[in-house]
Structure 1
Amino acid sequence: MNTSELNSFIVILIYGSLVLLSLLKLANPLKVNRKANFWFGIFLFLWSTFWLDEVLFLITGEAVEFHSLFLVRCIQFFTPIVFYFSVLFFTNPSFTFKIRDFRFLLLPAAFLLCLILVKLGYESPFEYLSVILILIQALFYTGLSYVTIRKHQRKIQQFSSNTEEINLNWLEYIILVLLIVNIIYVIYNLFYDPKSLNFFINTVFLFVIYWVGYYSLKQREIYPVEEKQREELIAINEDSDSEEIKRKLISDEELIKIKNSLERLMEADKPYLDSELNLIRLAEMLSVSTHHLSYVINTGFGKNFFQYVNEFRVEYAQKLLKESNSKLSILGIAYESGFNSKTSFNTTFKKVTGQTPSEFKK
């Protein structure tokens, strides 16, 4: 099999994999992150259309400029926006579109106008302007998605003690790929004949798509399914980034009372040994609201929930590491201390103590 045949095979795999993955995300058999997976499935389908020219050529044997069609170009232009919508719903499943969100249509409207003018015969400079708009759209929405994910990674530390499976790190890599895809697309349109991407780039895309498929299908529910609990956590997240956190939610006396109760609970019952411990469970143990508990941890201890709980876990792990007769491995100690992976254990342990668990044990 020569390079051309191998490239054709890879193109079919890319297109087929994206369409199949799109259908899986839309069907969402696990019923998790429903709105986010719906938009992510649409994004994957739109992404697949960028290879449809090559697929049609393999089927018909004739060059088919599918992506140059007026309607197709309009639809493909929405790819970065749809990706951003999926990020919005991953990070806030209660998000709803409002009238002000019509601003999302400004760039598509400008792009549509350029295409109409090109169609009317004004190819220069509007053809080049449409390509520039594609680049602006891609850079803007991928950048906005990246910032949104970064904020999410800070916010989930307000209510989760193990963030590894809900931090959406895998979406950051998609953002990087999207940027590369759009830059390549623009370069090919401006300087080369954009009939197909080369064998090496397609090979990279294939591996990236399978990587995306693996992580997107194993992504667990980020927020509680129960609406009331979800709304409480989202509200706490919003408060933590605003001036409201500086206002007193409870009196100093009540703060000290809850703080003392929390300290006694952590020492006596060791709830931090539960790897699934979150703000809701801890608040239920203390019979206080999640808002008040979050305020006490932030104000009374100067930490977020993630930091507060994991410092107890590290302290407990240190005791186990010091025991000379302990038969537990490093991984065993991680699980015994409430961590759910060796990676999160090593990262958190070093951040708190300045040493890795292995260095501390020696």
Structure 2
Amino acid sequence: MITTVISLFISLFLALFLLTVRTKHRVSNSLFALFLIITAIDTGEPLFSLITDRPSNLGMIRNTLAFLQIPVFYLYVLSVCYSDFKVRSKDVVHLIPFLMANAVLLPRFYLVGPLSKIDFIIHRKSMIELQFNHILFHIQTVVYIVAVFVLLRKAKKLYVENYAGTSINSYHWLFQFTVVMAVLYLIVIFKNIFKFSDYPYISEWIKIAILLFQLFIVCWYLFKALNNPGLFRNIDSKLKLVSDIVLEEKENQPAVVNEELTKLKKYMEEEKPFLNPSLTIQDLSADIEIPARELSVLINHQLGQHFYDFINTYRIENAMHILKDTAKSKVTVLEILYEVGFNSKSSFNTAFKKHTGFTPTDYRKGLSNSVL
């Protein structure tokens, strides 16, 4: 009971925070707040049972709200991935499992009297409606979890093909968060399987574990939200993957490709646009007057590099040049990473080691030892 109260309080507190905080990510915050509220209502079952121990229509609707949890989470992920996301009328399709779950309960639960409701709950293990709802919930969970992972994979690929900022770490975190959610729902599935088995007490023990796990997830998210208020940089949903663009249009003539490559490399070396930590392929396209689609194909397809890696290569080369300069031996690694266009130490270290095989500190030490 104490765990339930703590989890409920934290969930509702974070939901209130998300709904009232001033931010440009209002849609994302509202969707996650809704997810937290639905989760709080679901986990608050022990508290609701203190109010009434009789089955009721309101109590059953509270149970079926679980069908809204993962669709709302899916919409939340969509909203943090794409900057132009809006809740549209077509999104009502996500209500279908919830409506189906309640529709099958109409004849023998919602539309009958109190005694029939009690009899329905007593014989719940044999009730085809509840069995149908549990199977439907499990199918829905699997489908949406897979859909979220597919969405994140595409969003991350679009990001590295069109952006060169450090927000790629946000997708890594969101992927980790989705993995944790997938594990939670997998545990829920096991709980429901035991609920209709000959070992219902195992289901009760799993329920306690779920409450503790949910409390951990909410606290983890709260920590992330407070420490990283600008966690995500959304991408434009109208962007297309290079592989799709190549399929849609014919290849450029080799002479044109060579001319554009020369123009691109000359601009990168002379103007150093990579020093801008939030550089996008649209920015570069406007500067060198090559359409964004063509530039995307040129970098991602012709050069065989994601835009993210292409820009970071120039940043690392510039950082290596600074590290080699004995006159700048007093300049710290932190100062260098900001100077060359990074704004995250972890991103800089990862990119530097990927490019050179060494960390920036080890690379500098290696240069010093070779001089000695």
State TM-score, norm by structure 1. Answer: 0.80
- Which residue among 293, 296, 301 is the counterpart of 1:294? 296
Equivalent residue number for residue 126 of structure 1: 129
Matched, 1:283 2:298: no
Aligned-partner Cα distance in 2 for 1:310–1:67: 58
Q: Structure 2: 5+ residue runs without aligned partners?
A: 113-119, 367-372
Give 2:218's aligned residue. 209
Cα 1:98–1:14 change in 2 (3 A) is closer
1:340 counterpart residue number: 343
2:116 is the alignment partner of 1:107: no
Displacement after TM superposition at 1:306 (Å): 0.6
Distance 1:91 1:181 in 2: 22
Q: CA deviation at 1:136?
A: 2.1
Query: How far is 1:145 from its partner?
Result: 0.8
Aligned partners of 1:297, 1:243: CA distance in 2, in Å?
A: 13
Q: 1:36 Cα shift? A: 2.9
Shift of 1:200: 6.1
Aligned counterpart, 1:304: 306
Change (3 A) 1:103 1:30: closer
1:35 Cα deviation after fit:
3.1
Amino acid at match of 1:222: R
Equivalent residue for 2:179? 176
Structure 1 residues 246, 252: closer, same or farther in 2, change over 3 A?
farther
* 1:45 aligns with one of 12, 37, 45: 37
Instruction: State the match for 2:63 in structure 1.
Output: 73
Q: Could you tell which deviates more after superposition, 37-46 or 104-113?
A: 104-113
In structure 1, distance between residues paired with 2:301 and 2:55: 61
Kindly provide the CA deviation profile for residues 301-342 of structure 1, in whole angstroms up to 9, marking residues without a partner as x.
222211110111111122223334511333333222222112
Question: Displacement, 1:152?
Answer: 0.9
> 1:196: Cα distance to partner?
8.0
Match of 2:161 in 1: 158
Q: Secondary structure at the match of 2:300?
A: helix
Please point out which of 27, 34, 37 is paired with 1:35: 27
The gaps in structure 1 that reach 5 residues or longer are: 1-6, 224-229
Cα offset, 1:250, TM superposition: 5.5
Change (3 A) 1:285 1:131: same
Q: Is the 8 A contact 1:259 1:300 kept in 2?
A: no
Total equivalences in the alignment: 343
CA shift in 2, pair 1:103/1:200, >3 Å:
closer
**Structure 2 CA distance for partners of 1:99 and 1:273, relative to 1, 3 Å:** closer
C-alpha distance in structure 2 between counterparts of 1:75 and 1:201, whole Å: 17
* % identical equivalent positions: 24
**Residues 228-253 of structure 1: CA distance to partner in whole angstroms, max 9, x if unpaired?**
xx7xx543x32424154563475544
Shift of 1:18: 1.4
Alpha-carbon shift at residue 142 of structure 1 (Å): 1.8
Contact 2:167/2:232 (CA < 8 Å) preserved in 1? no
Shift of 1:81: 0.8
Among 200, 224, 247, the alignment partner of 1:192 is: 200
Match of 1:91 in 2: 81
- State the 1:282 CA deviation: 1.8
Q: Which piece of structure 1 moves more, 284-293 or 107-116?
A: 107-116
The answer as to whether partners of 1:91 and 1:152 remain within 8 angstroms in 2 is yes
> What corresponds to 2:357 in structure 1?
354
Q: TM-score, normalised by structure 2?
A: 0.78
Shift of the alpha carbon at 1:17? 1.9
SS at match of 1:302: coil
